Structure 1
Amino acid sequence: MTALHPCRPVGLDYLESAPAVFTNSVDIALTPEELFDVLARADTWSRWASVITDVEYTSPAPYGVGTTRVVTMRGGIVGDEEFLAWEPGRRLAFRFNASSTSALSAFLEDYRIEPTGSGCRLTWTLAQELSGPSKVLAPLTGPLCNLAFRHFLKNLQRLTAAGVPA
């Protein structure tokens, strides 16, 4: 098992105070409920966020606030997540309680879904605080990370436009 380093247990208000915040939006041709179902599924994340290789819920269904899961990413990075918001068709948010990298002090992702005339709009906000050498490099790496986040949302848009198999 990979050794995990504790992350600061931030709340949803961290979106307002994090040293690095990235927000991107995309229009999706699904209803808000359909998109929420895609985001709630463990098997879809690796299909649109190419950095992710596996997602596994560690809490039993039904899922909601307090649900936990483990996400495995390229480079051997593992995140132990806990959901802070779970509002079907509207919002889900989670933080890292621990990570395999000590470069991450705090981490939170927030997914907000709003209905539109042709489906819905997803706004994804990622808030984080880095430590050590990563913190020094953040002004350089942040814009590159944000480009990757935009690319992931375009992948999600393509995936959902093609229909997400059950």
Structure 2
Amino acid sequence: MARWYPLESADARTFTSAPYVFRYVRTLAAPPATVWESLASDESLSAWSSTVSEITWSSPRPFGVGTTREVVLAPGLARVRERFFRWDEGHGYSFIVDEANLPVFKTFAEDYVVEPHGADGATTQFTWTVAIEPKRAFALPFAALAPVLRLAFGRMAADGERHFARTG
């Protein structure tokens, strides 16, 4: 059984105040409704990317503010428990990590925005923001690893592009 480490609460201000904010904007080859359906599905990002190996929603549908889930990152070393503080049905959501199995993070939050792209509405502009503040003891190692993390999260965003190019 994993040991859990609580994180401090966060909110929308975290996306501008955290020491590490990674933002990715991608055009996905699917209409917004399709992208949203995937994000809110049982598989969610685990259908897009091998980086996310498992998602377990721990709240019943319909999802909304207060919804919780547990996410396992490949190869199963990192686990986080998330709680949604924004849920705009069909348009986006934001969540914080309440607990992680690694004692690294002070705060961790993500924001997803799904918007129509182009005149015909056949594609989606997907904006994904990750905001992280490490615990003080991990500040120096985190600074050294931040470029690697930026690339790893960027890979997940690129995986979304490939996924919708195939499945659109």
CA deviation profile, 1:54-112 (whole Å, cap 9, x unmatched): 10000111111110001112342110100111112211111101111111111000011
Name the count of aligned residue pairs.
164
Counterpart position of 1:106: 107
**Alpha-carbon separation, structure 2, partners of 1:44 and 1:113:** 14
- Runs of 4+ residues deviating >3 angstroms: none
**Alpha-carbon separation, structure 1, partners of 2:34 and 2:86:** 17
Specify which of 132, 138, 158 is matched with residue 134 of structure 1.
138
Tell me the amino acid that sits aligned with residue 123 of structure 1: T
Tell me the amino acid that sits aligned with residue 167 of structure 2: G
Residue 130 of structure 1 deviates from its aligned partner by 0.9
**Alpha-carbon separation, structure 2, partners of 1:49 and 1:140:** 25
Give the root-mean-square deviation of aligned CA atoms. Answer: 1.6
Please report the TM-score for the alignment, with normalisation by the length of structure 2.
0.90
1:161 and 2:165 aligned: yes
Please report the TM-score for the alignment, with normalisation by the length of structure 1.
0.91
Residue 42 of structure 1 deviates from its aligned partner by 2.9
Query: Percent identity between the aligned chains?
Result: 29
Counterpart position of 2:25: 25
What residue ranges of structure 2 are gaps of 5+ in the alignment? none
**Alpha-carbon separation, structure 1, partners of 2:125 and 2:26:** 6
Tell me the amino acid that sits aligned with residue 35 of structure 1: V
Tell me the amino acid that sits aligned with residue 67 of structure 2: T
**Alpha-carbon separation, structure 2, partners of 1:12 and 1:112:** 13
